[in-house]
Chain A
Amino acid sequence: EAGVAQSPRYKIIEKRQSVAFWCNPISGHATLYWYQQILGQGPKLLIQFQNNGVVDDSQLPKDRFSAERLKGVDSTLKIQPAKLEDSAVYLCASSSRTSGSSYNEQFFGPGTRLTVL
Chain B
Amino acid sequence: DAKTTQPTSMDCAEGRAANLPCNHSTISGNEYVYWYRQIHSQGPQYIIHGLKNNETNEMASLIITEDRKSSTLILPHATLRDTAVYYCIVRGVQAGTALIFGKGTTLSVSS
Contacts and interface: CB of A to CB of B under 8 A. Distances in A.
A95 interface: yes
Contacts of A91: 43-44
Contacts of B45: 108
B103 interface: yes
Contact of A55 (B42, B46, B96, B104): B96
Interface size range of chain A in the complex? 20 to 34
Main secondary structure of the interface of A (DSSP, over half): loop
Interface in A11-54: 31, 33, 40-45, 48, 50
Contact of A43 (B41, B42, B96, B101): B101
Interface in A74-117: 91, 93, 95, 97-111
B87 A102 contact: no
Nearest to A42: B101
Contact of A56 (B2, B41, B42, B98): B98
Contacts of A105: 46
B95 A42 contact: no
Contact of B95 (A4, A43, A99): A99
B43 A111 contact: yes
B8 to A, nearest CB: 11
Given A48-B96, A104-B97, A110 B41 contact: yes
A100 B95 CA distance: 7
Nearest to A98: B95
Contacts of B98: 33, 45, 48, 56
Contacts of A108: 42-45
Interface string B41-62: 1111110010100000000000
A36 to B, nearest CB: 11
Interface in B13-72: 32, 41-46, 49, 51
Contact of B96 (A42, A97, A109): A97
A42 B51 CA distance: 23
The 4 residue pairs across chains A and B that have the minimum distance between CB atoms = A42-B101, A108-B43, A45-B98, A105-B46
